[in-house]
Amino acid sequence: MAKFIHRQRLPNVENTGFSPNSAIEGGRLINRDGNINIKKTGIPIFDRLSLYHVLLRMPRWKFLLLVFGFYFALNILFATAFYFIGIDGLDGATLQETQMNQFLTAFFFSAQTLTTVGYGHISPVGITANTLASFESMVGILAFALVTGVFYGRFSRPKAYIRFSDQFLIAPYRGATALMFRLATFKNNHLTDVDANVSLAMHVLEEGVLKTKFYTLKLEISKVVSLALSWTLVHPINEESPLYGFTEQDFKDNRVEVMVNIRAFDDHFSNTVQQRSSYTYQELVFGAKFLPMSRLDPSGQYTLLELDKLGEHERVALPKVNEIR
């Protein structure tokens, strides 16, 4: 564990929402995708789980797979019910078909009823079949209304669409060093009044107890009017920085984590959006600087922002800084 001498005099942040007890932490505090690295227990899962939030944040492929799976499961359920009622309860169905074909007939009739299409080739006969068909049509209306609502919620939910560099750097800066990372929007949205808040978590040994200390990192520029191109956030490492005098090994020994919160106004959604992320000491490049990622288009008509170069950097020598030990 790296020594913690002058940094004890720096004001640390107490109201972060995280515990100062390092012993209860599992890995990083915030995941790269912005989710808090916490699992909750102690009450039934349905009391602590918001299905709507799960459906909103679920990856697109999982959501579509869930919708199609739910659709086919409902059809199989009602098709099985129609099959056991008897295929003779469906007027227009061929009784001489094999058992599999009869089930498929019930399945496709269920699909027509669930979606309220009703081609008319097959229709229910009798109280039992008509009651089941009526119930299925009601379930279909409610199910498609719910799915449509979730689709709209996913489509209309404001998002920042910000991508962060894969690593953060300790780079030369005005004769000293600075902590740097880079971000940019990757969709055709436009963010204005962009605010950045960067916090530092480090694990220190105090009186034989391992504790987590939190600090607010002062940025060279913490707000920009427009995020049209990329933005390199810079924290100068000087006497006022909790990282002053840190070597690369100190970052590892103190298990440093840099937590980022970006808040901005999206003029397309006319709403405030935000995005979180974090970097751990394992994603540190000590002694490097970012390479340019924007240039003039060959036509000379516009600026070309190359998003695939967001994290590109090159190794450089750092200036000698007196280390405090």
Handedness of CA 241, 260, 290, 27 (dihedral sign): positive
pLDDT tens profile 3-23: 444 444 566 776 677 767 776
Q: Tell me the pLDDT tens digit for each residue of 95-112.
A: 667 888 888 888 998 999
With vertex at residue 170, the alpha carbon angle to CA 169 and CA 176, rounded to the nearest 5 degrees, is 145
Q: What is the pLDDT of residue 322?
A: 45
Asked whether 225 and 193 are in contact (CB, 8 A), the reply is: yes
Classify residue 24 as left (phi > 0), alpha (psi -120 to 50) or beta.
alpha
Tokens for 20? Answer: 């100062």
- Judged by DSSP in three states, 115 sits in coil
Both structure tokens of 158: 């404001």
Q: CA torsion, points 125, 129, 130, 133, in degrees to nearest 10?
A: -130
pLDDT confidence bin for 2, thresholds 50/70/90: very low
The residues pairing with 290 across neighbouring beta strands, listed in sequence order, are 313
* CA–CA dist 204, 212 (Å, integer): 6
242 in Cβ contact with 202 (< 8 Å)? yes
For residue range 42-62, list pLDDT tens digits in order: 888 878 888 888 899 899 999
How many whole angstroms separate alpha carbon 257 and alpha carbon 217? 12
CATH architecture of 6-39+160-315: Sandwich (2.60)
Would the CATH topology of 6-39+160-315 be identical to that of 51-156? no
325 pLDDT higher than 70 = no
Tokens, residue 244: 């002053």
Full-prediction pTM beyond 0.85?
no
User: Which is it for the CA torsion 21, 27, 33, 36, positive or negative?
Assistant: negative
CB-based burial label for 68 (10 Å; 0-12, 13-18, 19+):
exposed
The phi, psi pair for 226, rounded to 5°, reads -145, 135
Q: Who's near 200: CB < 8 A, 6+ residues apart?
A: 214, 215, 216, 217, 242, 243, 256, 257, 258, 259
Tally the C-alpha atoms within 13 A of residue 278's C-alpha that lie toward its C-beta.
21
Q: For all residues of the chain together, what is the average pLDDT?
A: 87
Q: Domain extents for the chain?
A: 6-39+160-315, 51-156
Mean pLDDT over 205-217 rounds to 85
| Cα 201 from Cα 215, distance rounded (Å) | 7
How many Å apart are CA 130 and CA 124, to the nearest integer? 5
Q: What is the mean pLDDT of residues 143-166?
A: 92
Q: Which residues, in sequence order, are CB contacts of 258 under 8 Å at separation 6+?
A: 168, 179, 181, 198, 199, 200, 217, 278, 279, 280
pLDDT over 90 at 136, yes or no: yes
Helix (H) and strand (E) counts for the chain? 6, 16
Chain-centroid distance, C-alpha 258: 17
State how far the Cα of 102 lies from the Cα of 122, in Å rounded to an integer: 12
- Report domain 51-156's class: mainly alpha
